[in-house]
Structure 1
Amino acid sequence: MARQNTVFKEAYNRYASALRADEALPSEPEIAAQLGISRSTARAILTRLSDEGIIRWNKRQKIVLRAPNEEDFFPSEETDSLHNIIERSFMLRILSDDAAPGMQINELELAREIGTGTTSVREFLIRFSRFGLIEKRPNSHWILKGFTREFALELADVREMFELHSAAEFGKLPAGNDAWRALAEIKAEHQAMLQDLDKRYKQFSALDERFHLLIHGAAKNRFIADFYDAIAIVFHYHYQWNKAFARQRNERAIHEHLDYIAALESRDPAAIEFSCRLHLRSARQTLLQSLPQIATETAGAGGL
Structure 2
Amino acid sequence: MTQTAALRVIEPPGRPSVADAVFAELHRQILALDLPPGTRLSEVDVAKALGVSRQPVRDAFWRLSKLGFLTIRPQRATTVSNISEEAVMQARFIRSAIEAETVRVFTERATEADMAALEAILEAQRAAVAAQDRALFHELDDRFHREICERGGNGFAWDIIRENKAHMDRVRMLSLSFASQAAFEDHLRVMAAIRAREPDRAMLEMRSHLSRIRSQIQRIRAENAGYFDPLPDSPGD
Common fold: TM-score over 0.5:
yes
Partner of 1:168: 104
Structure 1 unaligned runs (5+)? 12-35, 38-81
Structure 2 unaligned runs (5+)? 1-6, 230-235
CA distance in 2, matches of 1:108, 1:168: 48
Is the CA contact (8 Å cut-off) linking 1:235 and 1:287 kept in structure 2?
Answer: no
Is the CA contact (8 Å cut-off) linking 1:167 and 1:272 kept in structure 2?
Answer: yes
TM superposition outliers: structure 1 runs of 4+ over 6 Å: none
Give the alignment partner of residue 118 of structure 2, picking from 153, 176, 183: 183
Cα distance change of structure 1 residues 86 and 287 upon mapping to structure 2, 3 Å threshold: farther
* Structure having greater relative contact order (Cα 8 Å, sep ≥ 6): 2
Is the CA contact (8 Å cut-off) linking 1:149 and 1:288 kept in structure 2?
Answer: no
Partner of 2:162: 228
SS at match of 1:125: helix
Summarize deviations over 1:194-228 as a string: whole Å, max 9, x none. 5xx2x324342222222223234345353641441
Partner of 1:127: 63
Cα distance change of structure 1 residues 141 and 181 upon mapping to structure 2, 3 Å threshold: farther
Partner of 1:49: none
Is the CA contact (8 Å cut-off) linking 1:216 and 1:224 kept in structure 2?
Answer: yes
SS at match of 1:137: coil
Give the alignment partner of residue 276 of structure 1, picking from 195, 201, 206: 206
Summarize deviations over 1:216-266 as a string: whole Å, max 9, x none. 4345353641441442x32332354567xx24x111111111111222233
Task: Tell me the TM-score normalized by structure 2.
Answer: 0.73
How many matched pairs? 224
Letter in 2 for 1:168: R
Give the alignment partner of residue 208 of structure 1, picking from 98, 116, 141: 141
Letter in 2 for 1:220: N
Is the CA contact (8 Å cut-off) linking 2:69 and 2:80 kept in structure 1?
Answer: yes
The root-mean-square deviation of aligned C-alpha atoms, in Å, is 3.6
Partner of 2:88: 152
Cα distance change of structure 1 residues 91 and 181 upon mapping to structure 2, 3 Å threshold: farther
Partner of 2:180: 250
Answer with 1 or 2: which has the greater Rg. 1
Partner of 1:41: none
SS at match of 2:187: helix
CA distance in 1, matches of 2:101, 2:83: 26
Cα distance change of structure 1 residues 234 and 132 upon mapping to structure 2, 3 Å threshold: closer
1:278 deviates by 1.4
CA distance in 2, matches of 1:111, 1:282: 38
